[in-house]
Structure 1
């Protein structure tokens, strides 16, 4: 294969797509700024979670309460943070449901981003003054931001693009986000020594403000698509129960498969991540070596993800449909876990981690998100958000504790459990593909 000519041909198709679909450029800008802002802040979250200063992480009252119970909270930093993250998702899901039930899209989408922008201004003050407990508050905030903001993004894309356009363009849009994921850490590395952590909050707030600009420009294309589908109430509230998302998941087979796919996918990733941390502690006792190890993994993931998004995702979804994109990642994870069960070395684990996370970003997620173009708005905005928040964090928390159980029997037990879970991941992906094929053609217009 002539690689330069292939690259030229793919870039030519990208230019053609930009000419044929003007909103695509704004979608690029939206996702680029969104992930740039997130990755500017992600290192701050990691630093807070790993901080030796427990008072920087937890409020004094919480530290004193646990001390009174004879528990040193510093020994359970991640467990406490993950548990609190799940609880806050439970609390916020009805709030999000109420928002999308009572307000039209032109109101609630800018409100979501305005909330994050103004809270970043608050964190600027907290970090600037060194308020105790800022670490926990920021860790919980960024978890909510990561899930809610990205969930809102993909739900909105399903309003802008048709099913055929989603299969053709979602790979490109994901690539724009991956470029943003490259740029965010670079901004942090360049600026943190010069302006400090507190002012990084302002940098991220500016990037989110640009997201709002892109969102407002994209809105008219979303309106035009709804008019083409004969939807006259395009800017009216969706109405319904604030817990409608969870009820829809319980009632609708496709949404149940979507939730099952996410739970099993989160499971294989969480088991792998926790075992990776344990292995890194064993093989890389020097913090500088461990940091370099994780940095190399992130770089490899972003590089592979961007390459596949640009040159494989669009072709795979357009030519072969959803089945390969839903089934290839579970197969890769199963093979990776099998290799690790035979030889659990950090370098091999890093390779499996790269394959797992890049497969999620460049294949599995674009395939799942394209399904939302075929379903009603209430499914996208309510059920989709419930899956990406409460169910996601519940699975994350549950498998974090399950790893503790499996690891008591050694790394091999963890990897064997991962093999079984990856098989379930593939079965759920197949079930989701079958459920998607049975969708009525006119369901999205309801």
Structure 2
């Protein structure tokens, strides 16, 4: 890239910041959120790949399994993913009640304060060596990631309208990617001098910054709602706590988004489990496994930010969401075809990086842009169902599918993954087709 092109891109970024003051706070918000999460993600992944079940499961569960001749170490990821799915289902009505009965200024801070309190509790559990902390922490981090990021993007759809989203979502995503790059870097540097327990306090500090950003962004959300004559988020939304499930099932676009999410998670879960087997073989220690996973995260986020800066905003403004949804699906189809033919460990890592980077840099910004054109109930309730329950439903389905297929070898796993990738491509096509009926702004839609 020439110096002139770089200068032009920097100038456009500065112009976007000047034209959109809330972009500053949105960037800081997403940077802090993903940095806080990625400080802990390598710790979670190392636990999932652990060969010693006593560091993951509580003693009573190990003794119960041993009495029945079951080795929990053979089912670590399957049990953890199933537990995560159950936790997501249990939290759905609680989140639905919170969103329905309290205004935005209450339920947004409550979500993040709850996560900070949990991190403080886990700090004590890790410091004291409490039994079973690994499994509970794995489930918590998965819940934290999905709910915290879902709430973030729902709030961004309150702050920015569709036209603004096409301008700034690429930049906001890049800010989050910088946080995702900084998080594993902090983990690599701090895990040995501070220990795993104190990394939780570092993460809690970043989540605290998110609360400040929420307070500073609230006035911009109010202005946007008034400008487009939308229902105010300063009042409780009302409605049923199960409205999200109903909307996700009845609305054709939301059904297509659910399909896209389910199969997208499927390809990620299959390749994640194969990667975990590689880590168990070549990186048996917790510190070595943590460093390996943090290196993968660095590669994913490095590629993500390049695509976000160079392509995402341009594609969104020029062509809409279609290429951002269809290109990752085609890339994943090609990657699984290569893995089915030759499942080399290095190729597995490369396809993992491409799969996750294309999701973060292209597919996710496209999906989030669509929610700026929907009503608030779809934005907060249905989106939460898709991003949490459907997401983890895909996880738990395909982690057991992988367990059934793993005995036949990696080639069979990736051959089955080709069918899952085809489902992902079909879901992307359905979303592209259904989104054409959305109005440009929710306030423009006819009310029943």
Q: Normalising by the residue count of structure 2, what TM-score does the alignment of the two structures yield?
A: 0.94
Distance 1:13 1:241, change over 3 A: same
Aligned counterparts of 2:237 and 2:356: Cα–Cα separation in 1: 34
Tell me, yes or no, if structure 1 residue 376 matches structure 2 residue 375. Answer: yes
Deviation at 1:374, TM superposition (A): 0.3
Match of residue 180 from structure 1 = 179
- Aligned pair 1:81/2:105, yes or no? no
Q: Show structure 1 runs of 5+ residues with no match.
A: none
Q: 1:13-72, CA deviations, whole angstroms, 9 ceiling, x for partnerless residues?
A: 000000000000100000000011001111222333344554442223322322333323
**Aligned residue runs from structure 1 range 14-413, under 5 A:** 14-51=13-50, 54-231=53-230, 233-278=232-277, 284=282, 294-413=293-412
The alpha-carbon distance between structure 1 residues 286 and 129, as it changes in their structure 2 partners (threshold 3 A), is closer
In 2, distance between residues paired with 1:346 and 1:55? 27
**Root-mean-square deviation (CA), in Å?**
2.0
User: 1:429 maps to what in 2?
Assistant: 428
Q: Between 236-245 and 42-51, report the one with greater CA deviation.
A: 42-51
Deviations 1:111-162 (A, max 9, x none): 0001011111111211222211111221111111000000000111111111
Q: How far apart, in 1, do the equivalents of 2:328 and 2:91 lie?
A: 31
User: SS at the partner of 2:372?
Assistant: helix
Equivalent-residue separation in structure 1 for 2:300 and 2:28 (angstroms): 21
CA-to-aligned-CA distance 1:183-231 (integer Å, 9 cap, x gap): 1122222223233222222211111110000111001100100011123
2:35–2:181: 8 Å Cα contact kept in structure 1?
yes
Decide whether the 8 Å contact of 2:253 with 2:435 is kept in 1.
Answer: yes
Q: Give yes or no for contact 1:59–1:133 (8 Å, CA) kept in 2.
A: yes
What is the Cα deviation at residue 417 of structure 1?
A: 2.0
In 2, Cα distance between equivalents of 1:264 and 1:67: 35
**How much does 1:291 deviate?**
6.8
Once residues 313 and 73 of structure 1 are traced to their aligned partners in structure 2, the CA distance between those partners, rounded to angstroms, is 43
* C-alpha separation in 2, matches of 1:442 and 1:316: 20
What is the CA–CA distance in structure 1 between the aligned matches of 2:51 and 2:410, rounded to whole Å? 27
8 Å CA contact 2:257–2:431 kept in 1: the answer is yes
How many Å separate the matches in 2 of 1:285 and 1:112? 36
SS at match of 2:109: helix
Q: How many residues align?
A: 444
The structure-2 alpha-carbon separation of the partners of 1:347 and 1:72, relative to structure 1 and needing over 3 Å to count, comes to closer
> 1:307-354, CA deviations, whole angstroms, 9 ceiling, x for partnerless residues?
011111000111111110010001111111122222222222222222
For residues 73-130 of structure 1, what are the alpha-carbon distances to aligned partners after superposition, in whole Å with 9 as ceiling and x for unaligned?
Answer: 2332222111111111110111111110111111000000010111111112112222
Q: Is the partner of 2:380 in helix, strand or coil? A: helix
Q: Aligned in 2, Cα 1:270/1:178: closer, same or farther, shift over 3 Å? A: same
Change (3 A) 1:122 1:158: same
Structure 2 unaligned regions, length at least 5: none
